[in-house]
Amino acid sequence: MTLRLTRRGFLLGLAASAAPGRTRIAFARTAGERRLVVVILRGALDGLYAVQPYGDPALAGLRAPLVLPEPGQEGGLLDLGGFFGLHPALPTLHALYAAGEALLLHAVAGPYRSRSHFEAQDFLESGAGERLTSGWLNRALAGLPNPAEVRAGIVIGGGLPLLLRGQTPVSAYAPPGLEPPAPELLYRIAELHATDPLLGRVVGEGMRARGFAAQTLGAPSTEERQRRAFPRLAAAAGRLLAAADGPRVAAMELGGWDTHAAQPQRLAPALHALDDGIAALREELGPAWARTAVLVITEFGRTARVNGNTGTDHGTGGVAFLLGGAVAGGRVVADWPGLAEGRLLEGRDLMPTLDLRRVAKGLLRDHLRLPEAAVSLAFPGSAAAPALAGLVRA
């Protein structure tokens, strides 16, 4: 699939090419007022860090350098009901939780067990244990009205993720100009230049000029521009989705989660960006927030144990967030497997106890109100992972 630049009214930016001759399953106009936003966190968010099970006695033994003070203490976690605590860089999510508009799902994973980012992201977006040529969210669009004037689906940001690739044409919004990489990625690029006789110095200066303290591993980022990039995109998504005749399903991506080293310093800006983004999305959606669900997912969790560089490596079970006025929130949904030695998957990862497809299917069925056939089309061969009920308000 190719992207083509077009400008049409407020829908600046990209429009994915149409695929003529598609057989759409005929359904009623179910799209209505309900909005679904899917945010992919590329690089694998450490779920045990973002949503810390401080009530689990094994936690500190596995990853003391990554454990934050308990709720109520200075710099401590934001409490989620006595067992889990949210990272303090996620105050918006916590406020949504308090308002009953955030559901935190823990010990979740897709139906695959790959620890390769590339593979796992493909599987996550395919919605299967293998790589398909289209994404589950695109297939779900087949069950919605999709007029050519305003497509039901829209991708926000420069790319067209596999999640929204497929037969159903989608529109796209990309901000004008260049999109800066996440600080994490910039640090990696800068590290590659460190030994270059000419460019080492030049790139170091460039990093400093942009507000990065130093070209060293784990240096904290004060880079405001980067912190604002995702919230700006999220605000644009909110404006587009808020329109009465706008799109109803949007996909976004956010990088910077692959924290093999210096995790506390490196994850804070990414978490802030996510949190600010959700706030911006909510604000711009206005009254439409009440009929919105935002699903935040990542390709896998990370190792339960801290590694030798205050980081974590590729793991399995992690978290997903479900946010929005339509969400039956204020809860943590987790069939908690525990972190004791014998409870870890292969002795290293959080054991997944909830298939992410069940969450996505639950949203398609109960939030977008897709009929069973359309849900099955989105997630083929997933009979063993039935839609999870009760995610959204009736």
Which residues contact other proteins by CB under 8 A?
Answer: 1-3, 5, 14, 42-44, 117-118, 121, 157-160, 162, 177-181, 184-186, 188-189, 191-193, 196, 198-199, 202-203, 205-207, 209-210, 253, 255-258, 260
Provide the minimum distance between the beta carbon of 199 and other proteins in the complex, in angstroms, as a whole number. Answer: 5
DSSP classification of residue 210? T
Determine the Cα–Cα distance for residues 152 and 126; give it in Å rounded to an integer: 19
Contact 42, 257 (CB under 8 A): yes
Query: Least CB distance from residue 258 to other proteins, whole Å?
Result: 3
Please identify, using beta-carbon distances, which residue of 21 and 177 lies nearer to other proteins. 177
Contact 117, 258 (CB under 8 A): yes
Query: Is 213 or 373 the residue whose CB approaches other proteins more closely?
Result: 213
Q: 56 vs 253, which CB is nearer to other proteins?
A: 253
Would you say 73 or 195 has its CB closer to other proteins?
195
Minimum Å gap between C-beta 365 and other proteins is: 29
For residue 252, the surrounding DSSP H or E stretch is strand 249-254
d(CA 68, CA 85): 9
Contact partners, residue 394, CB within 8 Å, separation at least 6: none
What one-character-per-residue DSSP string does 352-371 give? Answer: P-EEHHHHHHHIIIIIS---
How far apart are CB 112 and other proteins at their closest, in Å?
16
**How far apart (Å, rounded) are the C-alpha atoms in residues 91 and 387?**
30
Output the CA torsion sign for 206, 269, 108, 54. positive
Closest CA to 45 of 184, 160, 163, 158: 184
Which of 282, 302 has the CB closer to other proteins?
302
Q: How far is the CB of 361 from other proteins (least distance, A)?
A: 25
Nearer to other proteins, 198 or 394 (CB): 198
Report the residue number, 92 or 298, with the smaller CB distance to other proteins.
Answer: 298
Residue 1 token pair: 């699939």
Minimum CB–partner distance for residue 332 and other proteins (Å): 26
For residues 315 and 302, the answer to whether their CB atoms sit within 8 Å is yes
E strand segments, 261-302? 292-298
Min CB(37)–other proteins separation in Å: 18
